Structure 1
Amino acid sequence: MQRFSDAYPVWFCDIWGVVHNGVAPFPITVEALKRHRAKGGTVILVTNSPRSNLGVEKQLLEIGVDPASHDRIVTSGDVTQVLMKLHGGRGVHHVGAARDLSIYEGTGVSRVGLDAAEAVLCTGLVDDLNDRLEDYEPLLDDMKRRGLAMICANPDKIVKKGDRILYCAGKLAEMYAARGGEVLMAGKPFAPIYDLALAEARRITGRDIDRPDILAIGDGPETDIRGAADYGLDALLVAEGVTDASEGLHVAEAEVLRAVPNARIVATVHDLSWM
């Protein structure tokens, strides 16, 4: 990673699948992020978590991620709060786990039942360990009949937690869009979260940081890599999260490039080893 530290002063780094696996941190990655900062680099963690940046910071501390690994966290939840204010009106119905309810804090938007809602906020499955996708079909049909927009706080469709693959809010959003429902996306691969991360990088450094100064690091083809490509950023693909590297790094990279032909992948790695 040393050569990338020299070439890109600012790193936009994904969290889940890169910094940790939902259970424990990846020490090699955390150390590389710390070394980049020690050389004068800036690390913005950019995540599709539906929580606020403060909520994610707390989660990282609980998992054991060293706070010296990053300068700032920018979350899909941060962008979601803006969408809630714009589209919430009298109230927003919540679909997701109770742990995500802090996203309402500071917005002035009320959490209401479906009958009173002007929009629906989806932060994920209510119980992502046990719920089935088909359990949500009646709710999605009801939302469509009511003409409610879904604010998707996490565009990720799946995430790897330990050895398990879990569904995320993005999967429910995909199901709703297939019904013709309106979906408002907050996180990667969409531009608003990158705009916020870029603004933070400029604020932290006090310099006019631009796209050639930034390396996007992530494991998700449809979120991290597509988002970087659409925003005009070079990307480092970490093929250990949702990207399958069982047949080798070159095969994994080729598969991602087939899915995202405009991707600017500068390297594909197992981890962020400093070399």
Structure 2
Amino acid sequence: MTRVISSLSQISLNYDAVFCDLWGCLHNGKVPYPAAIKALQDYRRAGGRVVLMTNAPRPNQYIIAQLDRMGVPRDAWDLVVSSGDAAQDAMFAGAVGRKVWHIGTEKDDGFFSDIPSEWNDAPEVIRVPLEQADGIVATGPFDELNEAPEDYRMRFKQALDRGLKLLCANPDVVVDMGETRIYCAGALAEFYEEMGGKSLYFGKPHPPIYERARQLLNLPANARYLAIGDGINTDVRGAQQEGIDCLFVTGGLAAENFGNDVENPDAEMLQEWLTIHMMNPEYSIGRLR
């Protein structure tokens, strides 16, 4: 049974590092949460390491720039690791070929143009129309405010007929941008699989993003990690699969399931919901604080 806590400080001394999600935990896509920032600052001052781990489909320098614009202070974190980092490695390694059809917006152009130094000598990856593509790279819908996966059925049918694989740069299905819920690349990848296609994933809950975080932290083999997040199928599932403890933030994507007080989830409703989803995070909290 999950233990509902009121602050990170109640358990933080048990862990050497935390893998903290962004959307729904540290910010809402528009503004940061002051209490969450303070919790991470306090944890770092006590000697802990903070990795901001996000399924955003962009290389980490773009995530850092976004955090700076929002006003998230740099003393709240040590490292930023994105799904975009891990997915980039796979793309430049040729996971879906060298000619790709890109589903996404201009804000994700850096996924293709900012080539990591270790891939400078790799063959070029170029974006082409679907009819010319060897594979698909999805960073999100073309119009994230208005499109749904069903809008891609005809184009995905063409891709299936040609046996194309889809590289998903963001396994999130939905996120909340302020008060607006939008579809992510994960929703497209799942829909493609439902139609019979093959999708490749590199962010949470899949191993590559955790491997990258551990490598960059370079902590001893017996280091203790805590995952913090509001995604039951990304943050919680990923922690469970990695064998690390998890602090589930109930006031994010699933907040409506736990009562009227977003800061204080109803314990019985929470446990029933977790049982239905067959997940058992060690801890839960209304909002990260």
Instruction: Return the TM-score normalized by structure 2.
Output: 0.88
- Number of equivalent positions: 266
SS at 2:109 equivalent = helix
- Of all paired residues, the percent bearing the same amino acid is 37
Q: For the Cα contact (< 8 Å) 1:239–1:269, is it kept in 2?
A: yes
CA distance in 2, matches of 1:253, 1:18: 20
- Structure 2 counterpart of 1:96: 104
The aligned counterpart of 1:150 is 166
Q: What's 1:252 paired with? A: 270
Return the offset for 1:9. 1.5
Matches within 5 A, 1:61-210: 61-85=68-92, 86-104=94-112, 105-106=114-115, 108-202=124-218, 207-210=219-222
Specify whether residues 199 and 25 from structure 1 end up closer, same or farther in structure 2 by C-alpha distance, changes over 3 A only.
same
User: Cα deviation per residue 1:100-139 (whole Å; 9 max; x = unaligned)?
Assistant: 1110121542222222221100011111112233321111
In structure 2, the partner of 1:233 is: 244
Amino acid at match of 2:127: R
What's the CA shift string for 1:41-75, capped at 9, x where partnerless? Answer: 10001110000011111111112211111100111
Q: Tell me the equivalent position of 1:224.
A: 235
Q: Are residues 1:29 and 2:36 paired?
A: yes
| Secondary structure in 2 matching 1:87 | coil
Q: Deviations over 1:165-193 (max 9, x none)?
A: 11111111111001110100011111111
* 1:88 Cα deviation after fit: 4.0
Quick check: 1:243–1:252 contact (8 Å CA) kept in 2? no
C-alpha contact 2:26 2:288 (8 A) present in aligned 1 = no
- Where in structure 1 do 4 or more consecutive aligned residues deviate above 4 Å? none
* Structure 2: 5+ residue stretches without partners: 1-7, 260-264
Contact 2:25 2:229 in 1 (8 A): yes
Quote the residue 1:12 is aligned against: 19
- Deviation string 1:186-206 (CA, Å, 9 cap, x unpaired) is 11111111111111221xxxx
Match of 1:271 in 2: 287
TM-score (norm 1): 0.92
Partner of 1:255, secondary structure, is helix
Are the aligned partners of 1:226 and 1:260 in contact in 2 as well (CA < 8 Å)?
no
Give me the whole-angstrom Cα distance separating, in 1, the residues matched to 2:24 and 2:69.
16
Unmatched tracts of structure 1, length 5 or more: none
Distance 1:259 1:238 in 2: 15
1:40 aligns with 2:47: yes
Q: What is the CA distance between 1:3 and its match in structure 2?
A: 2.8
